[in-house]
Structure 1
Amino acid sequence: MNEPTPSTNPPSAKGRAGCFIIIFLALAGGGWLWMHRPEPAAAGAPGGRGMRGGTAAVTVGEVKQENFDEWVSLAGTVTPLYVVTVRSRVDGQLDKVHFVEGQMVKAGDLLAEIDPRPFQVALDQAKGQLERDEALLANAHKDMDRYTMLLKQDSIARQQVDTQASLVRQYDAALTSDRAAVASAALQLSYTKVTAPLTGRVGLRQVDPGNMIRSTDANGLVIITQMDPIGLICNIPQERVDAVRRRLASGDKVQVEAVDKEMNKLLGRGHLLTTDNQIDLTSGTLKLKAQLPNAESLLFPNQFVIARLLVNTIPNATVAPANAIQRGAKGAYVYVLQEAESTVSMHTVTTGPTQGDRVLITEGLKPGDKVITQGVDRLREGAKVEVIIPGKPPAGRLAKSGDQDKAKGQGKGDKAAMLP
Structure 2
Amino acid sequence: MKTASLVLNTACGLVALGLWGCSGKSDAVVPATGASAAAAPAGAASTAAAPVTVTTVAAQQRDLPVLLKATGTVTALTSVDVKAQVTSVVSKVHIEEGQFVKAGQLMFTLDSRTDEANLAKARAQLAKDTAALADAKRQLARSKDLLAQSFISQGALDTAQAGVDGLSATLAADQAAIDAAKVALSFDRIAAPHAGRAGLVPVSAGSVVQANVTTLVSITQLDPMGVAFSLPQRNLGDALAALKGGGAPVTATLADNGGVFKGRLQFVDNQVDASSGSLKAKAVFDNPDGKLWPGAFVEVSQTVNVLKGAVVVPQAALIQGARGMVVYTLEDGKAVSKPVQLVYAQGLDAAVTGVQPGDKVVVDGKQNVRPGVRLNERAAEPQKAASAASAPATDASKPTAP
- On whether the aligned pair clears a TM of 0.5, the verdict is yes
2:55 aligned with 1:58 = yes
2:359 aligned with 1:364 = no
1:201, distance to aligned residue in structure 2 (A): 2.4
1:205, distance to aligned residue in structure 2 (A): 1.0
2:162 aligned with 1:166 = yes
Superposed CA RMSD in Å reads 3.5
CA shift in 2, pair 1:301/1:121, >3 Å: same
Q: Tell me which amino acid in the other structure corresponds to 2:265.
A: H
Distance in structure 1 (CA, Å) of the matches to 2:163 and 2:382: 103
Do the aligned partners of 2:327 and 2:339 also contact (CA within 8 Å) in 1?
yes
Do the aligned partners of 2:90 and 2:204 also contact (CA within 8 Å) in 1?
yes
Matched residue, 1:20:
none
Q: TM-score, normalised by structure 1?
A: 0.69
1:264-303 map, 5 Å: 266=260, 269-275=263-269, 277-281=271-275, 284-295=276-287, 296-303=289-296
Distance in structure 2 (CA, Å) of the matches to 1:201 and 1:247: 32
Q: Tell me which amino acid in the other structure corresponds to 2:127.
A: E
Structure 2: state its 5+ residue gaps: 1-49, 392-402
- Secondary structure of 2:215 counterpart: coil
1:57, distance to aligned residue in structure 2 (A): 6.4
Matched residue, 2:343:
352
Distance in structure 2 (CA, Å) of the matches to 1:383 and 1:290: 54
Q: 1:81 aligns with which of 73, 77, 82?
A: 77
Matched residue, 1:108:
104
CA shift in 2, pair 1:138/1:242, >3 Å: farther
2:213 aligned with 1:223 = no
Distance in structure 1 (CA, Å) of the matches to 2:83 and 2:374: 78
Distance in structure 1 (CA, Å) of the matches to 2:382 and 2:174: 89
1:290, distance to aligned residue in structure 2 (A): 0.7
% identity of equivalent residues: 29
Partner deviation per Cα, 1:323-376 (whole Å, 9 max, x = no partner): 3334444443333355xx566543221113311222121x21233444344454
Distance in structure 2 (CA, Å) of the matches to 1:161 and 1:106: 60
Distance in structure 2 (CA, Å) of the matches to 1:264 and 1:88: 38
1:221, distance to aligned residue in structure 2 (A): 0.7
Partner deviation per Cα, 1:66-91 (whole Å, 9 max, x = no partner): 143242x3343333333322111122
1:121, distance to aligned residue in structure 2 (A): 1.9
1:180, distance to aligned residue in structure 2 (A): 0.8
Q: TM-score, normalised by structure 2?
A: 0.71
Do the aligned partners of 1:268 and 1:298 also contact (CA within 8 Å) in 2?
no
1:113, distance to aligned residue in structure 2 (A): 0.9
Structure 1: state its 5+ residue gaps: 1-52, 401-420
Distance in structure 1 (CA, Å) of the matches to 2:382 and 2:120: 87
Matched residue, 1:120:
116
Q: Which range is displaced more, 241-250 or 174-183?
A: 241-250
1:194, distance to aligned residue in structure 2 (A): 0.6
Distance in structure 2 (CA, Å) of the matches to 1:243 and 1:318: 22
Matched pairs, number: 338
